[in-house]
Amino acid sequence: MRLAERFEWGTRCHVMGIINVTPDSFSGDGLAVNAADPVAAAEALAVAFDEDGADILDVGGESTRPGAQQLDAATERTRVVPVVAAIRATLPDAVISIDSYRADVAEAALDAGADMINDVWGLTKAPEMAAMAARRGVPVVLMHNRSAAGQTQTDARLGASYDAPAYGDFFAELAASLRLLARRAEEAGVAADQIVLDPGVGFGKTLEQNLALINELDRLKELGYPLLVGPSRKSFIGQVLDLPADQRLEGTAAAVALSVVRGADIVRVHDVRQMERVVRMTDALIRAHPVASAGAA
């Protein structure tokens, strides 16, 4: 799939729906524990998301929440490949993303029908991932991630969050890191127009940095790549509103709306029906044409 043929960047923001085939998602929506048949449940969720207006369906089999246990590749592959295959059979025209940093898992998902790779480590965790993505010619989402597995804070009510490392100039370092991820992907053979950048809301950033990242997202547009933002239900919303993950719908809506205003090309969300409406309304507002005053020529 070629991004430029499927998406017209700059005309509207697109919605990516999260399909967690995990038992330990931070947001409590993991299908591997909440459903008797995770594949059927994921397929049904994908159909619902598609009907609700999702542009991309993002399938993941390993939780990235702070404190999550790392999976082995075989377990992750067993979780995601049947789901991707089922969604592809049911929704032949859907854009399916595989949320994985493992090359063998991602390639198996591509073989099962996935169209693109969403890598929270920006193709850097697995040395062969970038070469595989280039060989397959697929789009990639490269996320900025300075989180560390053992460096987290836990609140009994609000959940866990990653500690932030020391930054000098936060935005300058963020932009430089994203630029480096893109350059490395291109050097491996990934086409520039197949790259989407994700600044990594919630991954190794303070509350203030997460808020500023969204409020000043437009500063990253100069990098020249489409931008994906994933604020949905995250701990920074809980910290502002003092609410657990299952009560962050309104906070997510505010973060999504501002992300659209500041230039997000894709927002990654759990609540597709509600957030698609937020995105569509925000798009209509910011792209409205000026209305001439009465009596104007």
**Which active-site residues does the annotation give?**
234, 268
How far apart (Å, rounded) are the C-alpha atoms in residues 64 and 204?
Answer: 12
Where do the H-state alpha helices sit in the chain? 3-6, 31-34, 38-51, 73-90, 103-112, 129-136, 170-187, 207-215, 235-241, 249-261, 272-286
How far apart (Å, rounded) are the C-alpha atoms in residues 151 and 84?
Answer: 32
How far apart (Å, rounded) are the C-alpha atoms in residues 284 and 263?
Answer: 14
DSSP letter (8 states) at residue 227:
B
How far apart (Å, rounded) are the C-alpha atoms in residues 263 and 216?
Answer: 9
Strand 96-99 relative to strand 56-60: parallel, antiparallel, unpaired?
A: parallel
How far apart (Å, rounded) are the C-alpha atoms in residues 24 and 46?
Answer: 19
Alpha carbon 143 to chain centroid, angstroms: 8
How far apart (Å, rounded) are the C-alpha atoms in residues 13 and 249?
Answer: 19
Helix (H, G, I), strand (E, B) or coil at 30: coil
Cβ(201)–Cβ(234) under 8 Å? yes
Where do the H-state alpha helices sit in 204-271? 207-215, 235-241, 249-261
Q: What is the dihedral of CA 214, 247, 43, 195, to 10 degrees?
A: 10
108, 126, 178, 203, 294 from 228: Cα distances, Å? 24, 22, 12, 14, 40
| Furthest-apart CA atoms within the chain: distance in Å | 70
